[in-house]
Amino acid sequence: MNILIIGAGGFIGSNLSEEILERKKEWNITAIDISDAKISHLLNKDKFNFIKADIIKETEIVDDALKNCDVVLPLAAIASPLTYVQDPMRVFELDFEANLRIVKQAAKLKKRVIFPSTSEVYGMCSDEAFDEYNSNCVTGPICKQRWIYSCSKQMLDRVIFALGIRDNLQYTLFRPFNWIGPRLDDINNPNNGSSRVVTQFLSNILHGKNLKLVDGGAQIRCFTYISDGVDALIKIIENKNGCANQEIFNVGNPYNELSIKDLAYKIKELAKSYSRTKTFAEAAKIEEINSSEYYGKSYQDVNRRVPSIANAKEKLDWIPQVNMDELLKRTMDFYFK
């Protein structure tokens, strides 16, 4: 199988590429990204062909790669809440416009598309657990620019679904719920809001800064270790007996449900066990901050985000394995050891 991973140098792309090369010797990967920093250790591997390109500017490179693949994963996206608020057009231009072009070209060439949707498409849905086929997608007012990411992804979900009906596009949509692990973000950047929550807390500790709880940290999330997410992706790519054809899958761990406040205390405590961060962790305080002060006035948050994974269990025979404590330990071992 010839697999095209666009955005292979990102968090999901780098971990997926690594695992495919380890487990699926018969698969060939063509990897496209603007940077190879997270995949430098893969560049000399057999069956891994890296092309450095900007998918917005160098569209002909993407088109050529699409012609030669069996399946494409358009993983390139901006997934930073601070950027949603401060530079929403940049988010729209990459996450929607650039990926829309790739999806339409894939449909024209009759290529299978595995598209990274997001748990954020559910927005402020009030369901106890979010269901791929029944839960409503509820976002805030237009002035809350935080939702441009969610809306960009949701619109692409709808376009892909429509192309499946009109053109028989073969696709799978997967929705990651707070995937965590090695190479998630660069924790050497000390600025608040530069990383997602786990890596932001790790960065704060590393730089001797306090941990900030946005609006008190009462928000509840379900954290998923990257190896569990990648296992689901490999099953989706394999597509045994067509199990993933024109399907939508939540890929998350509902058993790792935790408030951001509790997460901060867990990370602070665990960081004391590493020689590199022990002193900083002991000194770090956990303090509250208003979201408008931290992100800006156009930010809005979700109180609780829990996936139903019944569809993935049934169709993919997939269930997450890594619990919260082990997830944090593996991630912190990567960054702090």
Residues annotated catalytic, as ranges:
120, 305
Backbone angles phi, psi at 253, to 5 degrees: -120, 95
Three-state DSSP at 286 gives: strand
List the helix and strand counts (H, then E) for the chain.
13, 13
- What count of other Cβ atoms lies within 10 Å of the Cβ of residue 191? 11
Residue whose structure tokens are 């441009």: 148
- The CA distance from 252 to 225, in Å, is 9
What are 115's strand-pairing partners? 173
- The CA distance from 334 to 55, in Å, is 30
| Alpha helical stretches, state H, 168-311 | 197-206, 226-238, 260-271, 278-283, 291-294, 310-311
